């Protein structure tokens, strides 16, 4: 089955700087890669997703890039703000959606 | 618009007691339904999924079970809870299988 590894596990950035989270996956048949944001005690919420036929997707301050050859994808958050502080999860699908272990992002004011 | 309801929000149960968590989806028909568990500081572990009424697939062998008695209702059960069953349980739904999952608000289960 799919194995998704996510790095780093924690990330602290200064407000206004960029944050990058990277994930690798094992199943070359995976074709859908979402990213979820989970605030403390809340439900995970989908923030952006990408399919395997696209190399990059952007939505305001967040973007995701996919390298199918290397089997890795990344989340980029630019101009970070305090409300970006949360746990971020990547995921990849084979017959199920497999999640990474999460990255705790802290934006310092 | 579609909404997902999950209850209760918190639950404290003794070891060996039964469990029933309920999830319902409104505003859509024939959703794909999922139960995930999240241990403290960990990722999301898929427990069960269902693509239709009465169809349940189990991912992890354990003392939990799931049922889908109606199209938009998904229930997670246990006959006897273990300490290791503690965690944050999340129900989710999607239109397309394994894509764009929308999660419920979760149930924080503490087994003591």
What pLDDT sits at residue B61? 64
Average pLDDT, chain A: 95
B105–A contact, CB cutoff 8 A: yes
Q: Quick one: what percent of chain A has pLDDT higher than 70?
A: 99
Under DSSP, the state recorded for A100 is P
A90 in helix, strand or coil? strand
Grouping H, G, I as helix, E, B as strand and the rest as coil, residue B83 is: helix
What pLDDT sits at residue A55?
A: 92
Across the range A55-80, mean pLDDT stands at 96
On whether the CB atoms of residues A10 and A104 are closer than 8 A, the answer is yes
The answer to whether B42 contacts chain A (CB < 8 Å) is yes
Cα torsion A64, A67, A70, A72 to 10°: value is 20
Written in H, E and C, the secondary structure of B27-68 is CCCCCEEEEEEECCCCCEEEEEEEEECCEEEECCCCCEEEEE
Give kind and range of the element (H or E) at residue A74: strand A72-77
pLDDT of residue B40: 74
Nearest CB among B41, B46, B102 relative to A96 is that of B46
In tens, the pLDDT along A92-105 reads 998 889 999 999 99
Q: Would an 8 Å CB–CB cutoff place B9 in contact with chain A?
A: no
Question: Helix (H, G, I), strand (E, B), or coil: what is residue B105?
Answer: coil
pLDDT tens per residue across all 112 residues of chain B:
889 999 999 999 999 999 999 999 999 999 999 999 998 777 899 999 999 999 999 988 678 999 999 999 999 999 999 999 999 999 999 999 989 999 999 999 999 9
Q: What pLDDT sits at residue A96?
A: 86
Cβ of B102 and A89 within 8 Å?
no
Of the candidates A99, A93, A97, A102, the residue with the CA atom closest to the CA atom of residue A39 = A102
Nearest to residue A35, comparing CAs of B100, B33, B49, B2? B100
pLDDT at A94: 80
Closest in B42, B98, B103 to A43, CB measured:
B103
**Is pLDDT at A2 greater than 80 in this prediction?**
no
Number of A/B CB contacts below 8 angstroms equals: 45
Whether A109 contacts A86, CB under 8 Å: no
Query: Could you give the CA distance from residue A46 to residue A56 in angstroms, rounded to a whole number?
Result: 17
Average pLDDT over residues A3-19: 97
Enumerate residues 6+ apart whose C-beta is below 8 A from A96. A1, A2, B46, B49, B59, B98
Rounded Cα–Cα distance for residues B30 and B34 (Å) = 13
Higher pLDDT, B55 or A41: B55
* A108–chain B Cβ distance below 8 A for any pair: no
């Amino acid at each position: 089955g799919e194995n998704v590894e996510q790095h780093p596990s924690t990330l602290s950035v200064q407000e206004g700087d960029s944050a990058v989270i990277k994930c690798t996956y094992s199943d070359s048949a995976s074709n859908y890669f979402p990213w979820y944001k989970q605030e403390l005690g809340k439900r995970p919420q989908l923030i952006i997703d990408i399919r395997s036929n696209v190399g990059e997707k952007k939505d305001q301050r967040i973007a995701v890039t996919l390298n199918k050859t290397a089997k890795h994808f990344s989340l980029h958050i630019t101009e970070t703000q305090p409300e970006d502080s949360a746990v971020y999860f990547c995921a990849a699908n084979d017959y199920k959606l497999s999640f990474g272990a999460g990255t705790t992002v802290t934006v310092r004011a | 618009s579609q909404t997902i309801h999950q209850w209760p929000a918190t639950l404290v149960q003794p070891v060996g007691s039964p469990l029933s968590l309920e999830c319902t989806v409104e505003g859509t028909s024939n959703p794909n339904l999922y139960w995930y568990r999240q241990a403290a500081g960990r990722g999301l572990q898929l427990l069960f999924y269902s693509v239709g009424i009465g169809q349940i697939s189990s991912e992890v062998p354990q003392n939990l079970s799931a049922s889908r008695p109606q199209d938009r209702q998904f229930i997670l059960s246990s006959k006897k809870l273990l300490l290791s069953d503690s965690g944050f349980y999340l129900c989710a739904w999607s239109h397309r299988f394994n894509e764009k999952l929308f999660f419920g608000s979760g149930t924080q289960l503490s087994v003591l």
